[in-house]
């Protein structure tokens, strides 16, 4: 066992009983469900360019940290947008447009019909909007362009120019808001209410809970793909996922809990130490905001306020919450890019690696290793949520451009066996 990362980190174990009841209790099944996921996947599978992303084996890394294997769900190729967000934001755009068309005509169109432009005379006058750290806004903009409506995206001041340009390239108007992500969320809601636009947010708050369900439900496609890609139906013993407002984590957690019940893997959430609203919520036992600077290289996780819907699942569904440093995230990006332990290189963006970094940190610390129950037989699944969504930022951190990270992935994990 090697200690690969040596930076400071913290773990807040869930103080409440974890996954003791059936998933559908206490209204959780009304938020996310396997039935809802089936509807989402049936639609998303018809979209132009849909194909499951790869599940990578990192056996060299696994040997170095003393576990059976590490599995990396690589979302860098999702719909050519570079991140998993395409599954959520674009699905929510399509769902809202379907709802609006049905309200006007009495007939619900398919997303295929929307994408073919068959309802464009009706949808072209509709506008969707949201606040974003980058990836979600790009997904919403891509969804608007794909399904035929207008789009305005709000970004906060520290969102990189590269990410702003990527959103604009999808046809959206980009507006900059002074302050944090959470302030951009409020501005988007205010302007939308004034103009009659539809907010497509990946976070939920008091009075706004319907659309985020679509967003989170779309994310479930990713984890279902990963489970299907496992050889011999091997189930991970541990899953580590990024935090943010909690939408992704809740989606993954709900899927594992509902599908596997008491046999679900141990589930941990990782956040930047400067933006750890989920960690603080677990410590307080209720949704708690992080009022700090939210300044982190993990731009997609720079969120100070918890999604209320997400917390209603994570509150009793997650085993624990990690906070990690930017230095740990950067080092994890570099070791993946180098293929440092004999694995093929992977291009992973700043917000893609928090879960993996938390797993590596815990595995290298004897006390933490015991606390999260990692052993030589552990099968660890992590979600690599993005590639180099801003190549300039990636090159500054890793030391080389993403196109210079060369890998020859001749086989995916689906074609191999876990020995």
The arithmetic mean of pLDDT across residues 330-346, rounded, is: 96
What is the average pLDDT across 71-80? 95
Measured torsion, CA atoms of residues 305, 308, 309, 310, in degrees rounded to the nearest 10: 40
Q: What confidence tens digit (pLDDT) does each residue in 167-177 have?
A: 999 999 999 99
Domain spanning 89-201: CATH 3.40.50.300:
no
- Is position 85 annotated as part of the catalytic site? yes
Please pick, among 85, 202, 315, 390, the residue that the annotation labels catalytic.
85
Least confident of 1-15, 51-65, 88-102, 280-294: 1-15
pLDDT 10s digits, 140-152: 999 999 999 999 9
**Selected residue with higher pLDDT from 407 and 265:** 265
On whether the pTM is more than 0.85, the answer is: yes
- Residues 189-212: pLDDT tens digits? 999 999 999 999 888 888 888 999
CA triplet 204, 45, 355: central angle to 5 degrees? 50
Catalytic residue among 133, 202, 319, 390: 133
Q: Of the candidates 418, 347, 417, which has an alpha carbon nearest to the alpha carbon of residue 389?
A: 347
The pLDDT, as a whole number, for residue 415 is 43
pLDDT per residue as tens digits for the range 297-335: 999 999 999 999 999 999 999 999 999 999 999 999 999
**Residues 264-285 pLDDT 10s:** 999 999 999 999 999 999 999 9
- The pLDDT score that the predictor gives to residue 233 is 67
Fold match between domain 9-83+213-415 and domain 89-201: yes
Mean pLDDT of the chain: 93
Give the pLDDT band of residue 86 (cuts 50, 70, 90). confident
Class of domain 9-83+213-415: alpha beta
The 10 Å Cβ neighbour count of residue 26 is: 14
> Domain-by-domain residue ranges, the chain?
9-83+213-415, 89-201
């Amino acid at each position: 066992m090697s200690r690969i990362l040596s930076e400071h980190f913290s773990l807040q174990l869930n103080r409440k009983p974890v996954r003791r009841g059936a998933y559908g209790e206490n209204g959780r099944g009304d938020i996310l469900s396997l039935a809802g996921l089936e509807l989402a996947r049936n639609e998303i599978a018809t979209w132009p360019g849909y194909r499951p992303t790869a599940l990578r084996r990192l056996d060299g890394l696994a040997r170095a940290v003393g576990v059976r294997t590490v599995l990396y769900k690589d979302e860098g190729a999702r719909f050519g947008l570079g991140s998993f967000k395409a599954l959520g934001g674009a699905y929510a755009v399509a769902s809202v447009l379907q709802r609006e068309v049905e309200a006007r005509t009495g007939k619900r169109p398919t997303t295929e019909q929307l994408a073919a432009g068959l309802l464009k005379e009706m949808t072209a006058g509709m506008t969707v909007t949201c606040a974003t750290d980058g990836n979600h806004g790009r997904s919403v903009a891509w969804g608007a362009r794909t399904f035929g409506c207008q789009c305005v995206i709000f970004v906060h001041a520290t969102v990189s120019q590269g990410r702003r340009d990527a959103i604009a390239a999808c046809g959206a108007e980009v507006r900059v808001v002074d302050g944090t992500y959470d302030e951009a969320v409020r501005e988007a809601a205010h302007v939308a209410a004034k103009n009659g636009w539809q907010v497509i947010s990946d976070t939920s708050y008091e009075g706004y809970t319907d659309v985020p369900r679509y967003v989170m439900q779309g994310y479930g496609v990713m984890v279902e793909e990963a489970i299907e890609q496992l050889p011999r139906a091997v189930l991970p013993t541990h899953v580590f996922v990024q935090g943010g407002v909690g939408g992704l984590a809740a989606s993954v957690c709900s899927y594992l809990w509902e599908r596997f019940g008491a046999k679900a893997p141990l589930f941990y959430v990782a956040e930047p130490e400067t933006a750890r609203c989920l960690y603080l919520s677990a410590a307080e036992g209720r949704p708690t905001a992080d009022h700090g600077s939210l300044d982190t290289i993990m731009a997609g996780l720079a969120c100070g306020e918890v999604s209320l819907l997400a917390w209603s699942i994570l509150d009793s569904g997650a085993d624990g919450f990690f906070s990690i440093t930017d230095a740990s995230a950067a080092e994890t990006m570099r070791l993946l890019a180098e293929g440092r332990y004999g694995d093929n290189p992977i291009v992973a963006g700043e917000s893609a690696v928090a879960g993996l970094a938390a797993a590596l940190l815990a595995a290298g610390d004897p006390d933490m290793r015991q606390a999260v129950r990692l052993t030589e037989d552990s099968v660890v699944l992590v979600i690599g949520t993005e590639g180099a969504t801003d190549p300039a930022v990636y090159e500054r951190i890793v030391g080389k451009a993403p196109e210079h990270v060369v890998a020859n992935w001749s086989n995916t994990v689906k074609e191999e066996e876990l020995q």
